[in-house]
Amino acid sequence: MGASALVVLAVLVFLYVQVHGGPRSPSETEVAVARARSGVTGGAVGRSASPYRPSPGASGDDPWQRPPVEVAAPSRAAAVPAEPPPALQAPPELDAPPELAEPGSLDREMTLSERLAEANRLYDKKEYEEGQKLALDLLREDPENSRMLRIVVSTACAMGEEAKAREFHAKLKPRDKAQMKVRCHKYSIELPAE
C-alpha cells in the first residue's frame, strides 16, 4: 500500500509541475503582436523582439514580465461596405401564395396529382359535397382509383347517403373496405367488411 501511495504522489507532483511550472509559451496572437511592434516579418521572432525578453531600459522588479498586449479595434471602414446591397425581392410568381381554385371551376390544366390533392383537401376541410363532386369527376377518368373511391364513400357516409356509400364501397379493395366500415360506423352507417 505504501508503494502505490508513493507512485500516486509522484504522478501528482509531475502533473503539478507540468501544469504550473516553467514559462508559458506565447500564443500565435501574442507572437504576431510582438512582430508588429518590432517590425519583424515572417520567420521566428528574434531574441530582441520576443515579448518575454526585457526591452533595453525596462524598469520594474521582474525583467521577464510580458508587456501588456494591446488589441486594436477593427476599423469601421472594413466593417461597412461602400454601397448597401440591392434590396432582395422575391420573383413575382412567389410574392403571394397560390390560390386554390374553387371546386366548380377546376380547369383541366391542373395535373391529376393536383386534383387528387384538392379532393383530399376539400374532404379534410369537411367540404364534403365539393370533395365528393371532384372525386366523382376523377373517378370518371380513373374508375379504380382507390383514393378517390375512399373519399366518395367517406363523404357519402358523412352526408348520410347510405345507398351511395354502399355502391362505391363495393368497388373498394378488401383492405379499404375494412377501413371504410370503421369510418362510416362513426356516422351510424353500417357497411359490410367484405
Instruction: Give the pLDDT score at 81.
Output: 57
DSSP one-letter code for 48: G
Instruction: Give the pLDDT score at 22.
Output: 61
Are 184 and 190 within 8 A, CB to CB? yes
Letter for the amino acid at 100? Answer: L
Burial of 157: CB neighbours in 10 Å, binned 0-12, 13-18, 19+: buried
| Sequence-separated (6 or more) residues with CB below 8 Å from residue 122 | 103, 128, 130, 131, 134
DSSP one-letter code for 51: T
Parse the chain into domains and list their residue ranges: 110-185
- pLDDT: which is higher, 48 or 156: 156
Q: Which residue has the cell 378517390?
A: 148
| Sequence-separated (6 or more) residues with CB below 8 Å from residue 156 | 132, 162, 164, 165, 168
Average pLDDT, the chain: 74
**Interval 112-164: pLDDT, tens:** 788 888 888 998 898 999 999 999 998 898 888 888 999 999 999 999 999 99
pLDDT level of residue 101 (50, 70, 90 thresholds)? low
pLDDT level of residue 48 (50, 70, 90 thresholds)? very low
pTM of the model as a whole: 0.44
Q: Which residue has the cell 503539478?
A: 16
Instruction: Give the pLDDT score at 127.
Output: 92
Distance CA 153, CA 156 (A): 5
Instruction: Give the pLDDT score at 164.
Output: 92
Instruction: Give the pLDDT score at 91.
Output: 54
Instruction: Give the pLDDT score at 5.
Output: 85
**Interval 12-27: pLDDT, tens:** 888 887 777 666 666 6
Letter for the amino acid at 14? Answer: F
- Residue ranges of alpha helices (H) inside the chain are 2-20, 28-38, 76-79, 112-124, 128-141, 146-158, 162-169, 174-185
CATH topology of domain 110-185: 1.25.40
